[in-house]
């Protein structure tokens, strides 16, 4: 059985490195995209098992990217964890309305992220 694939859509290299290092010790395979447009295109092409979506992204926002993914039959059911550093009251609800399955505010513990990933996508 092949590794389950996670797509991480994040424009900050430091944040991508943290997740890359975290997932190295798991059975998950990681693919990355650097902006909202690339995130949507990569998700539709590669069909990951789960998507980590930053909200503040260049080109199109994470919210708009999630709406596009939910509108596409290929990615409509893919679990998405929305991640934001600007956690304001109601942002979790807005993210869920845009299509997020779960929501995580930065700064988060890498262990909390891994727990959220495993709750939606068991490691096999």
Q: What is the reported pLDDT for 117?
A: 96
What tens digit of pLDDT does each residue of 4-13 get?
Answer: 999 999 999 9
The listed CATH number (2.160.10.10, 3.50.50.60, 3.40.50.2300, 3.40.190.10) that belongs to domain 5-118: 3.40.50.2300
Per-residue pLDDT of 106-120, as tens digits, reads 888 889 999 999 999
DSSP 70-82: HHSTTTTTS-EEE
Taking the chain, what is the end-to-end CA distance rounded to the nearest angstrom? 8
How far is Cα 109 from Cα 68, in angstroms, rounded to an integer?
A: 29
* Cβ within 8 Å of residue 46, ≥6 positions away: 5, 7, 31
Predicted pLDDT of residue 14: 93
- For the four alpha carbons of 70, 75, 78 and 84, in that order, the dihedral sign comes to negative
pTM of the complete model:
0.94
The tens digit of pLDDT for each residue in 51-99 reads: 999 999 999 999 999 999 999 999 999 999 999 876 666 778 899 999 9
Beta strands in the chain (DSSP E): 5-9, 29-33, 50-54, 80-84, 102-105
């Amino acid at each position: 059985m092949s590794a389950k694939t996670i797509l991480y859509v994040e424009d900050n290299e430091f944040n991508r490195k943290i997740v890359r290092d975290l997932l190295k010790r798991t059975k998950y395979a990681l693919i990355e995209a650097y902006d909202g447009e690339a995130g949507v295109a990569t998700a539709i092409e590669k069909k990951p098992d789960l998507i980590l979506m930053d909200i503040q992204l260049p080109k199109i926002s994470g919210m708009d990217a999630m709406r596009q993914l939910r509108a596409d039959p290929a990615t409509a059911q893919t679990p998405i964890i929305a991640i934001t550093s600007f956690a304001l009251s109601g942002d979790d609800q807005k993210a869920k309305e845009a299509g997020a399955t779960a929501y995580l505010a930065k700064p988060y513990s890498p262990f909390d992220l891994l727990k959220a990933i495993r709750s939606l996508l068991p490691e096999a």
